Structure 1
């Protein structure tokens, strides 16, 4: 099917605005002072104007307690095309109730996806206004009335379902599942820890009657909420109708943001797309959109294999404290395993050279610890002599209780209810934001870093409050603005710098912060079998090359080594604690690890960043992961593919049949199966229709299947 262009069309007389992205069309109408969602189409056919929905606002705005989804007048509309072919339409509205100007920016990004954000300007010359709440996108989709009574089968069929990550807590990221949306009963999901995780502002809506998927993500690194309502109308006679209402919004105590006279702020960006295709294609369209228009790349975009020194050298875990000798030993291990970057993790700074002082108590003092009298320079020089790049862990938004920073600047911390919130620096304060940015820049320049790793291990929950003009402004909104602004500038200042995003593992996996980094630590949990489910689920919301998976001491105690390696090379691999030293290394461990790292570098990575992902098992039940899991990645030209099949816990059968979904059925492929090492040739048709029987007779084992098209 030929790809349709991205288009923006505005009927200024009727105040009707249409946005087209391939075969998806989003329509809005300004009527009676309200900007309304008029329709979502997923097949490229423009709806009649008489079919417009004219009672559902496309956004909500509450300022100083007053609802402002009405009272808007048209001011302007313009559109332009950017350098990558996206069309952007900007609708400017002026409110008749309060002195507020809105710019509604809608981008048509291809692959059936759109971006939407709103700029809010305070037009007053004197008065500050307070943002009570804001919903940047809401709407009504999939109105159904044909044969509804029969199709609902006496209410035994739910017309709509929502797919989301159902767990909110650390170590359970990526637990994707479907939930039916009951008729006339609203449901919602949210985060509560002051971060976007350990879930993610991401959902997939599914039309169970007429088919189709609606995929939505919000770029917001603090608390959020999504809500859904299946509106079923039945007048008891002949009229029946059901439609699905949805909304996605940041959640912050009011006022979320004080807007000064003449000031303009920007809402979170919402990414949404619709398609009448299968789930795999809907997810692939999301990945294509993110790769093209959202996510950051450095150089060729190929992810470096990371060796993290935290393993047999973790301060606070009764392990040896950091030393120059120990870090050089870690560099030797990294080079021997084929890693490409040495990451120095927590504990290199402050007083961590002293026995009994844990890494969290001295964050904020970003100077080499007592146990590193020569600083990190000899370590980094040694690593580079081994052919490794270097990276550094910094929890820049915190200061530990034993840090000099905490002693000298107690006013720099988050405050609420009259008390200081431990560890969390208040980036809503300009002087704190400036300090944090200056420290990041200083460290990158001082050590000439190849990668900067940002962590954030604190839950600020509802955030703190700062008093301005006698009003208590919540800190969350400005904190998110600050961290985005800092890394926008850091990324531009150091265009070749890799940036790793981490927040207690998967505390911030939203596309807002991920878009400003080059890789993301989606979870701190690496133990089998849950690590498979984390990769499986998170590779729906994010392309797999941005998803960090790791293995090493303690985390790899369950499951065999081949399986541990299969997991990490299907994501962005990091190794840690493979052996205490080269002298103590188990030759079999070293050989197996090297083998799979080489497979990643020479095969998977060659098409990883453009691969189409097929989730054969989108839902993996159980506390840690039950049954089987299978992931398939296929190159754009369909000449290469890799699949990993995992037997998890409590599988009822010893056999899993893998039927490839993305192959060229006319082509022949050389098939290589690891760890057994067998090779043979099969036609794409047989691999897709008959498939491969994978026999694994014990839990926590796996096979990796690699395909290369033959001439």
Structure 2
């Protein structure tokens, strides 16, 4: 039977469940007390029961040191729709070994994508259960046996590869690359800093023999692990076969979470999709799923151009970091450049001194610093008089060593190995969580903020521990729960409030926290050429309008000004340190910056939120980014497009030909190329087949190409 809509087919007699998302079909069965992954199909054709896999559990769960991926009894199945109209089915299982109930919900979200969530309930009336570890989703995505010996050609060919961000460290986010999965050798990736970054629980599996992609990411803002195993079987009697097994999971010391009698906890949500298409379409399907069913918007949904005051107002410059006069100067520059929101960054609070150098040691005291005797009200009033919205930076989950909060509440900090962990507040404690939430709400209401910027500049690594019910419970799970809970409520309370997510740059870029914010500072690194690679890679895991890219003093020392601006307008643009004052501004810098900000607002932003993204150079090699990079965004109706072509470092040729992928072949397009400003018309067929040759004879330069279908508004 061909099934092409989003639907659920539940056979309650055989306890076999099929979830359909357009041409993708996921099948699982309850067999002998185990929920098994029975098969994935990417062409809409459901498999027969006799073709089901029979030995691949769909999850793993260890409670109080005992594995309980088995011993489950059917307790019910219901199907309904979620808030966005997606079909979803909830399978309820009761365990015969432990007093546990599972509600496993699978959503069919369109675009070949699914969501998987799991609620774990303790049915005991008097016993607390300890969650030792869990894998919310695992299974076998492909099994290949047909003519395997010939198709493999030799043992140097890997049938499967995984695409992931290969760097784990600050400032190297988004370094996407493929890695072959060797036969009978496990491969895994993980984070270790107590955050989901500076990598991401995101991967793309590729079938190198039969084709197809499997895209997966998990919403989890602490340590995680993904693992893969290509199980190659050949005993000389049966046909050779190689299965690709995967799993994705949170990682924390045990017990990760104590579950009280009658209590329920939510496992991290997993998003996954499969498709027999090209890589660009697989990524576009992910973006479409995230935009429709996961990501949050506020107000009119347009991303405001941000001017962040942390440029020339840094310690070491002549003017103080934080002063009313200085911040008003920044508002003047922001307005003159066409920015739309003034962000007041770190250092506005606590006893920082005139130069603001102690900003990291005074977090937690969220009251104006001595350099702002009139508070921030005059600054925000002045900015609004210039037509700007206003935002405020707060590192709400920390308290610096010199803060009054740290002095008054030493017990509010993370504790591990018998001592206090500096700066990190323990949101696993209810009173700390309540304080943090109340401070966020107080600041939003006090200043009537248009944007709240959350930062988190600490690495708690394996977390801390709290004594509960006679056991040392790790803090990570409850901390993530607390952050999610806080910003769920803040988002609902202030539906028009923009929320900017930052964690020492790209420390938390997973879909769990990003889904509760409206934009994400994916990295602290803005210098060429690596900033281009960060944008290029992160725009696989996230749609580009959620990816904050910035330029200004210090970051812009390499590469020409046009190139810096080309990079940021392809994401969500932020400016900082463009000039020390409006009177001392370089007219050429101001003119060029204004030009590209206007291009972003009047052209790119008009289709950014629905754009299909084409990665012409998905893998950018080198320590910082070598060769050429090219990104193309095309509007839904294919009447508008923008592409940026960057010459990075160590390019062997002086020219790059971009052959457009998303244009109409039978249409004619008006083409404008910046910075040269030339305009001409070309047919979509020519732009796609012959392309445009971009000639750049020096490194760290670029061209921005704007295309509009002739006859369209």
TM-score, with structure 2 as normaliser: 0.99
Aligned equivalent of 1:78: 78
Q: Secondary structure at the match of 1:556?
A: helix
The equivalent of 1:508 in structure 2 is 508
Distance 1:364 1:314 in 2: 20
| Residue aligning to 2:517 | 517
TM-aligned CA deviation for residue 354 of structure 1: 4.1
Aligned to 1:53: 53
Alignment match, 2:492: 492
Tell me whether 235-244 or 467-476 shows the greater mean CA deviation: 235-244
1:473 paired with 2:481, answer no
- Whole-angstrom distance in 2 between the partners of 1:44 and 1:355: 62
* Contact in 2 for aligned 1:189/1:225 (Cα 8 Å): yes
Q: Which consecutive residues of structure 2, in runs of 5 or more, have no partner in the other structure?
A: none
Aligned residues: 710
Q: Is the 8 A contact 1:315 1:352 kept in 2?
A: no
Alignment partner of 1:572 is 2:569 = no
Q: 1:3 deviation in Å?
A: 9.5
**Could you tell me which residue of structure 2 aligns to residue 442 of structure 1?**
442
Distance change in 2, residues 1:445/1:59 (3 Å):
same
Which moves more between the two structures, 353-362 or 41-50? Answer: 353-362
Contact 2:535 2:547 in 1 (8 A): yes
Q: 1:317 to 1:506 in 2, by over 3 A?
A: farther
Contact 2:310–2:345 (CA under 8 A) maintained in structure 1? yes
Residue 581 of structure 2 is aligned to residue 581 of structure 1: yes
Contact kept in structure 1, 2:162 and 2:179, CA below 8 Å:
yes
TM-superposed deviation, 1:150: 1.2
Relative to structure 1, the CA distance from residue 598 to residue 194 in structure 2 (aligned partners, 3 Å threshold; closer, same or farther) is: same
* Cα distance in structure 2, aligned partners of 1:342 and 1:23: 45
In structure 1, distance between residues paired with 2:78 and 2:461? 40
- Secondary structure (helix, strand or coil) at the match of 1:423 reads strand
In the TM superposition, 1:269-280 aligns within 5 A as: 269-280=269-280
* CA 1:453–1:145: 2 relative to 1, 3 Å: same
Moved more, 328-337 or 4-13: 4-13
Cα 1:461–1:317 shift into 2, 3 Å: farther
| 1:594-634 alpha-carbon deviations (Å, 9 max, x no partner) | 00000000000000000000000000000000000000000
Q: CA offsets per residue over residues 17-47 of structure 1, 9 Å max, x none?
A: 0100000000000000000000000000000
- Aligned residues of 2:322 and 2:354 also touching (Cα < 8 A): no
Q: Deviations over 1:58-110 (max 9, x none)?
A: 00000000000000000000000234320010000000001000000100000
- Cα displacement string for residues 546-567 of structure 1 (whole angstroms, at most 9, x for unaligned residues): 0000000000000000000000
Q: What corresponds to 2:161 in structure 1?
A: 161
1:356 CA drift (Å) = 7.1
Assess, with a 3 A threshold, how the Cα gap between structure 1 residues 165 and 520 changes in structure 2: closer, same or farther. same
Residues 316 and 359, structure 1, Cα contact 8 Å, conserved in 2? no
Following TM superposition, by how much is the alpha carbon of 1:156 offset from its aligned partner in structure 2, in angstroms? 2.0
Q: Equivalent residue for 1:94?
A: 94
CA distance in 2, matches of 1:213, 1:319: 54
Matches of residues 244-643 of structure 1 in structure 2 within 5 Å?
244-315=244-315, 320-355=320-355, 357-643=357-643
Q: Deviations over 1:192-230 (max 9, x none)?
A: 000000000000000000000000000000000000000
- 1:69 matches 2:69: yes
* Map 1:81-230 → 2, pairs under 5 A: 81-230=81-230
CA contact 2:183–2:232 (8 Å) conserved in 1: yes
Q: CA deviation at 1:353?
A: 3.0
Structure 1 residue 238: deviation in Å?
Answer: 4.4
SS at match of 1:662: coil
Rounded to whole Å, the distance in 2 between the matches of 1:129 and 1:654 is 64
For 1:439 and 1:433, locate their aligned partners in 2 and report how far apart those are by CA, in whole Å: 10
Paired residues of 1:315 and 1:322 also in contact (CA < 8 A): no
From the superposition, tell whether residues 124 and 3 of structure 1 become closer, same or farther in structure 2 (CA, over 3 Å): closer
Distance 2:186 2:74 in 1: 33
Deviations 1:454-487 (A, max 9, x none): 0000000000000011100000000000000000
CA–CA separation in structure 1 for the residues paired with 2:357 and 2:564: 32
Q: What is the match of residue 650 of structure 1?
A: 650
Gaps in structure 1 of 5+ consecutive residues: none
- The offset of 1:357, in angstroms, is 4.4
Q: Structure 1 residues 201-210 or 75-84, which shifts more?
A: 75-84
CA distance in 1, matches of 2:348, 2:255: 39
Q: TM-score, normalised by structure 1?
A: 0.99
Q: Which moved more, 1:442-451 or 1:142-151?
A: 142-151
* Cα distance, 1:371–1:672 mapped onto 2, change above 3 Å: same
1:321 Cα offset (Å): 2.5
Contact 1:315 1:359 in 2 (8 A): no
- The answer to whether the 8 A contact 1:205-1:215 is kept is yes
Q: Does 1:685 align with 2:692?
A: no
Tell me by how many angstroms 1:9 deviates: 1.1
Q: Give the Cα–Cα distance (whole angstroms) in 1 for the partners of residues 654 and 151 of structure 2.
A: 38
Match of 2:671 in 1: 671
1:228-243 to structure 2, matched below 5 A, reads 228-243=228-243
Write the distance in 2 (CA, Å) between the matches of 1:292 and 1:321.
41
SS of aligned partner of 2:555: coil
How far did 1:421 drift?
0.2
Post-superposition offset of 1:664: 0.4
User: C-alpha separation between the residues in 1 aligned to 2:216 and 2:592?
Assistant: 40
- The offset of 1:320, in angstroms, is 2.5
